[in-house]
Structure formats: C-alpha cells, structure tokens
C-alpha cells in the first residue's frame, strides 16, 4: 500500500492590524448588546404617554415630563433619598468595619487567628437566604421594624469585604508600620496615616460594591418595612409597577433614575476600582 504524503502549508497568523480590527469589532458588538436595554429604557422614558410600544428607536417628541412626574407625583424623590441614606451609611460602616478587621488579620498576631479566619470564610458557603429568618427575628425583638436601622444593621458584617481587604493589606510592607511605631505612632495613627491611604483602591472598590448591593437590595428592605415613607427605590418601583401597569413611560423613567448613583460612582472611581480588583490578587 502506497502512502501518499500530503504537504500542508502552515497557516499564517492573521496580521496584527486585522487581529486588532476583529477584536474591536467584537468588543463594539458586545457593547451594543449589553447597552441596548439601557438605551431602550432611556428612550422609552423620553417618549410621550401612549407611545411606549412604538417601534421608533428614538422618540419623535422627546420630553422630560416623565421624570418630573415620577419624582413629584409618585414619591420617587423620597424613595431616592431613602436609598441614598441607606446605601451610603451601610457602605461606609461595612467598609470601615471590614478595614479594621482586615488590618488585624493581615498585620497582627493573636490566638487562633488562622482558624478564626477560615471559620469566617466558611460562612460564605451558607446561602444568604438562610440568614433571613434569624435576622428578621433579631430585628423584630430589638423593636427596629419600620426603621432605616433595620435595613442597614444586619449587613454590616461583610466577610467577603474582610477577605478582599486582608489580601490587599498583606501586600503593604511591614517595615512602614514598624518605622511608624518607632516614631511613637499609636495603632489608630498607623491605621489612619499608613493603612488607609495605601489601601484606598480596595477601600473604594469595597465601598462601591457594598453601595451597589444595598442600592439594589429589594427583598430585605421589603421585609423590614411596610411604611411608604421608608420605601427605597427598588421597593418603590415594584409597588408602582403593580399599581400602575399601564404607565410604561413612567416606569422606565423611574428605572432610569435608579441607575444614576451607580453610574456616577463608577465613573468617578473606576480607576480605583480596577486597581483594587487587580493589585491585591498577586502578592509581591
């Protein structure tokens, strides 16, 4: 049997310029797919009443009246302020507590430190829904129902934030802390003057993630309050949707308002966010 040798030419790689062009085209296509729902939401919010289901991508007669009505006539200005207060206070306190705990686990030695840290990490494997009943029981017994404190208090212990900050703080040279102690700095001064400035990227990252979680938290905020004056934006949107199923343009205006804080925060902190998510991943 005679074997036939087939000489195949090796495939040439694509030119670098063509590879870059295809990459950018793929990224642009992906961005269009991801951003189109937001584009549709915004254009619908700018349409006149009764034109929500028209096939026009751009409104023929754009109007801002829907935003004014949803804020003025349907209480969304109050919902917006409630969300700002709850999300900001919860993010600030949770980030502060996580930073203090991470400093202890990263730079201090104490009894059963590693075992305690592993125990805390193991708690991340428990689904969050499992905490609902005991958290509700505690809040109810403390008499905190229908308060903003009930929305914030159960979520101040952030184990994921502790892990994230500990990994980052371990990259801070211990010589800086030792030299500051030689100069007579207290623990609070070390934390405030050395740890916090050097950990600013991860602090901003955790603050943004925590703020985003509390801003969009719907179920817990619905459970602990039934007073309309304490509704946050997600709860207010759900109630508005159920009561006014036909007002599509107003619902889209409310949804557009709900994403403003997250977009503004990410726009101003994106550099710190990216640095915080990548720098602590590899220890020096």
Q: Which CATH class is domain 75-279?
A: mainly alpha
pLDDT of residue 140: 92
Task: Please report which confidence band the pLDDT of residue 282 belongs to, taking 50, 70 and 90 as the band edges.
Answer: very low
Q: Which residues contact 248 (CB under 8 A, 6 or more apart)?
A: 44, 52, 53
pLDDT tier for residue 60 given thresholds of 50, 70 and 90: confident
Q: Cα–Cα distance between 206 and 203 in angstroms, integer?
A: 5
Residues 62-91: tens digit of each pLDDT = 888 888 888 888 889 999 999 999 999 999
pLDDT of 1 > 60? The answer is no
Decide which of 141 and 183 is more confident: 141
Q: What is the mean pLDDT of the chain?
A: 85
The domain ranges of the chain are 18-63, 75-279
Confidence label for 276 from pLDDT (cuts 50, 70 and 90)? low
Of all residues in the chain, the percent with pLDDT exceeding 90 is: 33
* pLDDT band of 263, cuts 50, 70, 90: confident
Q: Which of 28-42, 46-60, 90-104 has the lowest mean pLDDT?
A: 46-60
What does the pLDDT look like over 143-196, one tens digit per residue? 999 999 999 999 898 999 999 999 889 888 888 888 888 888 888 888 988 899
Please compute the mean of the pLDDT values over residues 30-39 and round it to a whole number. 91
Nearest partner of 91 among 218, 252, 210, 202, judged by Cα = 210
Distance between alpha carbon 247 and the CA centroid of its chain, in Å?
Answer: 29
pLDDT over 60 (residue 283): no
Convert the pLDDT of each residue in 186-232 to its tens digit: 888 889 888 999 888 889 889 989 999 999 899 899 999 988 889 99
Provide the whole-model pTM: 0.82
Q: Taking Cα atoms as reference points, which of 78, 66, 37, 90 lies closest to residue 235? A: 78
Q: What is the pLDDT of residue 6?
A: 53
* Residue bearing the bigger pLDDT, 274 or 141: 141
Is 29 a residue whose pLDDT tops 80? yes
The three-state (H, E, C) secondary structure of the chain, written as one string: CCCCCCCCCCCCCCCHHHHHHHHHHHHHHHHHHHHHHHHHHHHHHCCCCCCCCCCCCCCCCCCCHHHHHHHHCCCHHHHHHHHHHHHHHHHHHHHHHHHHHHHHHHHCCCCCHHHHHHHHHHHHHCCHHHHHHHHHHHHHHCCCCCCHHHHHHHHCCCHHHHHHHHHHHCCCCHHHHHHHHHCCCCHHHHHHHHHHHHCHHHHHHHHHHHHHHHHHCCHHHHHHCCCHHHCCHHHHHHHHHHHCCCCHHHHHHHHHHHCHHHHHHHHHHHHHHHHHHHHCCCCC
pLDDT at 269 over 80: no
Is 284's pLDDT higher than 50? no
Cα distance between residue 118 and residue 135, in whole Å: 23
Least-confidence region, from 56-60, 63-67, 165-169, 277-281:
277-281
What's the confidence (pLDDT) of residue 245? 67
């Amino acid at each position: 049997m005679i074997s036939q040798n087939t000489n195949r030419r090796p495939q040439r790689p694509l030119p670098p310029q063509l590879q870059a062009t295809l990459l950018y085209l793929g990224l642009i296509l992906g961005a269009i797919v991801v951003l189109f729902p937001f584009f549709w939401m915004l254009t619908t919010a700018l349409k006149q009443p009764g034109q929500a289901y028209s096939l026009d991508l751009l409104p023929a007669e754009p109007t801002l009246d829907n935003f004014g009505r949803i804020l003025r006539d349907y209480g969304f200005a109050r919902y917006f302020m409630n969300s700002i207060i709850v999300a900001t206070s919860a993010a600030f306190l949770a980030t502060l507590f996580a930073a203090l705990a991470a400093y202890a686990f990263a730079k201090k030695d104490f009894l059963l430190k590693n075992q305690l840290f592993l125990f805390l990490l193991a708690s991340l494997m428990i689904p969050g829904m499992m905490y609902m009943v005991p958290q509700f029981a505690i809040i109810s017994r403390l008499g905190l129902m229908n308060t903003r404190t009930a929305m914030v208090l159960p979520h101040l212990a952030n184990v994921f934030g502790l892990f994230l900050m500990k990994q980052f703080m371990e990259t801070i040279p211990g010589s800086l802390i030792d030299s500051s102690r030689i100069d007579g700095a207290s623990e609070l001064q070390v934390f405030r003057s050395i740890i916090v400035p050097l950990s600013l990227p991860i602090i901003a990252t955790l603050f943004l993630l925590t703020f985003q979680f509390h801003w969009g938290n719907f179920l817990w905020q619905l459970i602990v309050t039934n007073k309309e004056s304490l509704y946050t934006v997600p709860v207010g949107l759900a109630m508005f949707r159920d009561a006014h199923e036909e007002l599509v343009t107003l619902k889209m205006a409310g949804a557009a308002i709900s994403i403003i804080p997250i977009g503004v925060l990410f726009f101003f902190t994106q550099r710190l966010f990216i640095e915080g998510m990548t720098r602590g991943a590899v220890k020096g």
